[in-house]
Amino acid sequence: MPAKLDKVVKPRWAAKVLGIDYADLPKLDRPWTKRDVRSLRDSRPGWLTEARRRHATRVQQANESRAAELDAELARLGYDAPDLGTVDQAALYIDGALTHLTTVTRCSEDEADRAAWRRWRKSMAAEEDYADDEDAW
């Protein structure tokens, strides 16, 4: 019976576990194994560190781009009220904006929630504090 570390893995899985883009994963003359992945994680060669930095930069840029798209979509839909820091704004206005955003853009609820936190941080925090106070009773 082969050892657990000798299990063959898909290259895309190896890249994901290593925290790099698939294109940066070296090509082997044999299939990738869990042992190969662990060995690279433990040894931390310079190329892996650089590949991780590039990957992190690309992910950050993609996240910022998506955030800008959702923010622009909220503005286009007419949700441009300033952050009042009130529970009422969060419960009435922002909840409607999130529903509208997920319906129009088909973004996930998590993405919409992050967009609301970026745009209306004080009101979102006020609603969260209010919910925590209600839970305490």
Asked whether residue 125 carries a pLDDT value surpassing 80, the answer given is: yes
Q: What is the pLDDT of residue 135?
A: 61
Tokens at 84, concatenated: 């009042």
Count, in order, helices (H) and strands (E) of the chain.
7, 0
Asked whether residue 137 carries a pLDDT value surpassing 60, the answer given is: no
Question: Per-residue confidence at 136, pLDDT binned at 50, 70, 90?
Answer: low
Asked whether residue 98 carries a pLDDT value surpassing 60, the answer given is: yes
Tokens at 69, concatenated: 């798209």
pTM of the model: 0.71
The C-alpha torsion from 73 through 78 and 80 to 86, rounded to 10°, is -110
Q: What is the pLDDT of residue 2?
A: 62
- Nearest-angstrom CA–CA distance, 96 and 90: 9
- Amino acid identity, residue 19? G
Which pLDDT tens digit goes with each residue over 42-52? 999 999 999 99
Nearest to 110 by CA among 102, 121, 122, 120: 102
8: phi then psi, degrees, rounded to nearest 5: -75, 135
Which residues, at least 6 apart from 36, have a Cβ–Cβ distance to it below 8 Å?
Answer: 14, 28
Phi-psi region of 78 (alpha: psi -120 to 50; beta: other; left: phi over 0): left
State the maximum Cα–Cα separation within the chain, in Å, rounded to a whole number. 64
Which pLDDT tens digit goes with each residue over 3-55? 899 999 999 999 999 999 999 999 999 999 999 999 999 999 999 999 999 99
Question: Per-residue confidence at 1, pLDDT binned at 50, 70, 90?
Answer: very low
